[in-house]
A and B are shown apart, each in its own frame.
Chain A
Amino acid sequence: AQTVTQSQPEMSVQEAETVTLSCTYDTSESDYYLFWYKQPPSRQMILVIRQEAYKQQNATENRFSVNFQKAAKSFSLKISDSQLGDAAMYFCASNSGGSNYKLTFGKGTLLTVNP
């Protein structure tokens, strides 16, 4: 069974600064994907970024980037130039690829952005 662990229940960052959210996972699969989802107060889940496990290059989407350490099973999210709109709950998730795409989620990290 897959497990995803987010060890930081809450984080805060000053506007315009950088913050890193941690995530570790455990899987026996060789082919899988990793995701960061954002859930703002509206509660609509939004995909922030995805990473294919077979790719060594870290994924980047504008101000969001990941640090993917496959051997350590670590998948952290870095948010640069934080904005007030980044305040949300962030969930790390993984799937097992292949023919089964169900996602396993971590418990989330609540990010506060201070003006």
Chain B
Amino acid sequence: DGGITQSPKYLFRKEGQNVTLSCEQNLNHDAMYWYRQDPGQGLRLIYYSQIVNDFQKGDIAEGYSVSREKKESFPLTVTSAQKNPTAFYLCASSVHQGSGELFFGEGSRLTVL
């Protein structure tokens, strides 16, 4: 079955540590996205990539980094520079034509202890 796989589902981190969230898709989609979800805030775009080896900052990129070395993979690193990293993180992908409908993974919950 085609889809988007995020791992881990739950992650705990101590302050000052970097963590990497994995996102893999087998939908052959060109574009991939990372969103952050906080209660009452909706979804806010962190980074997106429209093609391999290229990515752009979204609205809240500070304290985060990404890479896009393969079409299927778009990992997100939450660095120690991110002031408030506890949140729910959603990865998504889309084809680069048509409506641009996003397909989402099941999300990763990061908690900083």
Q: Do B33 and A102 touch (CB < 8 A)?
A: yes
- A102 proximity list for chain B (CB < 8 A): 33, 45, 48, 58
Q: Do B43 and A44 touch (CB < 8 A)?
A: no
Determine which of A42, A103, A106, A108 lies in contact with B102 in the assembled complex, contact meaning CB atoms within 8 Å: A103
Q: Do B104 and A44 touch (CB < 8 A)?
A: yes
B96 interfacial by beta-carbon distance below 8 Å: yes
For chain B, what secondary structure do more than half of its interface residues adopt (helix, strand, loop), or is it mixed? strand
Q: Do B94 and A101 touch (CB < 8 A)?
A: yes
Name which of A13-21, A45-53, A61-69, A72-80 contacts chain B: A45-53
| Closest A residue, CB atoms, query B94 | A101
A47 and B101 CA atoms in complex are apart in Å by 8
CB within 8 Å of A: which of B67-93?
A: 88, 90, 92
| Closest A residue, CB atoms, query B33 | A102
Q: How many A-B residue pairs have CB under 8 A?
A: 56
Name the interface size band of chain B: 20 to 34
A74 and B43 CA atoms in complex are apart in Å by 20
- A45 proximity list for chain B (CB < 8 A): 90, 92, 102, 104
Q: Do A50 and B45 touch (CB < 8 A)?
A: no
B100 interfacial by beta-carbon distance below 8 Å: yes
- A47 proximity list for chain B (CB < 8 A): 101-102
Q: Do B42 and A91 touch (CB < 8 A)?
A: yes
Residue interface bits A6-37, CB-to-B below 8 A is 1, else 0: 10010000000000000000000000010100
- B44 proximity list for chain A (CB < 8 A): 105
Residue interface bits B39-69, CB-to-A below 8 A is 1, else 0: 0111111001010000000100000000000
Given known contacts A45-B90, A47-B101, A101 and B96 CB-to-CB distance under 8 angstroms: yes
A104 and B45 CA atoms in complex are apart in Å by 8
Given known contacts A43-B106, A102-B33, A95 and B100 CB-to-CB distance under 8 angstroms: yes
